[in-house]
Amino acid sequence: MAEPGDDDFTGQGNLHRDGDLSDASGAINIVQRGNLKALERMLRKQWRMGQNIVLCWSSDARGLLVILVPHYFLGNYCAGGESEDTDRENETFIRELISGERRKSRDELFAVCERLDVAPTFIKLSTALAEDPQVGAAVEQIIKRYGLSYVENRAVLLFDIVDFSLFTPFEQASQLNSLSYSLNSAYNKLLQQGVEVNFARTTTGDGYYIWNRDLGPSANLDLFLFMLLVVADNAVAQRASRGNTVPVIRTAYHIGGHYELYQAEGINPSVFSYIVGDVTIELARMLDLAQANQILVGDFHCEQAGFGSDTVKSITSVSASSFVSACNRALDIMTGMPLAGATVGGMRCFLTQSVERDGQVRPRRFRIIDKHNRQRYVYNLQIDIDLAGEDVALGLGEESLPARPSSIGRDQVAGSAAPPTTEELIDDLAGMLKKRSGKIIVED
């Protein structure tokens, strides 16, 4: 069995770097495997080490039709309109085109060609592609590997090792290896409970972006449960470790859109995908000001919850607060799990709350202003675990969080007995400059 972080197209024809097709499922016959190998070889030639990308495809009696464009084409198309409105419309069209399934009907494919003002490319195969779900899924994976994809609403994690650059190379390697083990351990624990998180990862140098390749209704929930177990495994490992072999991490969870691509490695596209977009940018900015051991959740709305009949089901839009509450109601699955030689007696998670002026209890929302003076909102997540009768609290407690900025009343200013000294004025100016150029996080 492949490691869960490997991109091996398991169960979908399994196309590997060398173009060979694994026969693990046995669902694709030898003739169709030959077709898929031929398609892989032809696309590799047309791809030209990343010079061209594939947008979509359609079946043909003698093979298939694909739309190939230069890698810079999409950028020019989305920025070459007569107005900003036209550019936005073009970008929306491209995002929809490269989202989800890439297969189009023949008429749809030629309509796309007409709008983009390009001609389709014909790829001849020895026999026609079978109208079979496994064959279609394998073709989709090949097309995406030689193209660019967009996902509108996907959960992504960011694990960041605190003070990573201050450690020796050996300590850095040990910490990355320890965090990687926590990822695999969490995967295996959930798998034993019937939850398979088909996770992918890409390194940031001092941590990992993690996302669930699956896009089903429970994918975002599964990744959230995965995050809780990774944080818990890392925390108990810290308690048992010596020296700097286990990292202190800070963690962020957010849902948003991103592009996914496969970079060139020599003459082939890599077997590992990379993601970049709004969600990764938001995560990086969220953790830029996070404290050690802190867990942040973005201020998102999840369009499809899919938490099952006992929680939230078939809801058009769920807020971050409702999402976390629903995830907390799904934590019975953690009871009885082994963790660091002990057994989990129970687990709960919640957003840090406060009593508002109207007497209502609501989650505390924090505003982050980044180095570009752009702002975003986050929540602080806390986890409580009953570990063999011992209460383990993870995340930051309320006492460690920033408070709302207080303002000075007019009566305080009017009541000042003496004018500020020169030293006080210089300190005040320095503070103002620091606030303008720096990054801050305050309660909203």
Instruction: Assess contact for 57 and 64: CB atoms under 8 A.
Output: yes
SS3 419: coil
pLDDT at 409: 39
Task: Give the tokens for residue 193.
Answer: 């409970």
Task: Give the tokens for residue 21.
Answer: 């097709």
Gap between the Cα atoms of 178 and 208, Å rounded:
12
- Give the DSSP per-residue string, 105-118: -HHHHHHHHHHHT-
Gap between the Cα atoms of 141 and 134, Å rounded:
11
pLDDT tens digits for range 95-147? 999 998 999 999 999 999 999 999 999 999 988 899 989 999 999 999 999 99
Per-residue confidence in pLDDT tens, the chain, 444 aa: 334 433 333 233 333 333 444 443 457 889 999 999 999 999 999 998 888 999 999 999 889 999 999 999 998 998 876 788 888 999 999 999 999 899 999 999 999 999 999 999 999 998 889 998 999 999 999 999 999 999 988 999 999 999 999 999 999 999 999 999 999 999 999 999 999 999 999 999 999 999 999 988 899 999 999 999 999 999 999 988 888 999 999 999 999 999 998 877 666 777 778 899 999 999 999 999 899 999 999 999 876 544 444 444 444 578 999 999 999 999 999 999 999 888 999 999 999 998 777 778 889 999 998 888 888 999 999 999 999 889 999 999 988 888 766 543 334 333 444 555 656 555 555 554 444 445 677 777
Among 442, 356, 352, 347, which Cα is nearest to 402's? Answer: 442
pLDDT at 432: 46
Task: Scan for tokens 């991490």, then name that residue.
Answer: 249
Domains of the chain in start order, with CATH, are 30-146 (no CATH), 152-400 (3.30.70.1230)
Helix (H) or strand (E) holding 348: strand 342-351
Angle, to 10 degrees, between the axis of helix 133-145 and the axis of helix 30-47?
A: 20
Residue-level length of the chain: 444
pLDDT at 424: 53
Gap between the Cα atoms of 379 and 353, Å rounded:
9
pLDDT at 286: 92
pLDDT at 359: 75
Gap between the Cα atoms of 164 and 51, Å rounded:
36
Task: Give the tokens for residue 374.
Answer: 């752009």
Give the list of residues 6+ apart from residue 206 with CB closer than 8 angstroms, or none: 160, 161, 164, 165, 172
Pairing of strands 295-298, 249-261: parallel
Phi/psi for 420 (5° steps) reads -65, 145
pTM: 0.82
Task: Give the tokens for residue 231.
Answer: 């944080």
Where does 129-249 have alpha helices with state H? Answer: 133-145, 169-192, 219-240
Tell me the Ramachandran region of residue 192: left when phi exceeds 0, alpha when psi lies from -120 to 50, beta otherwise.
alpha
* Measured torsion, CA atoms of residues 8, 9, 10, 12, in degrees rounded to the nearest 10: -160
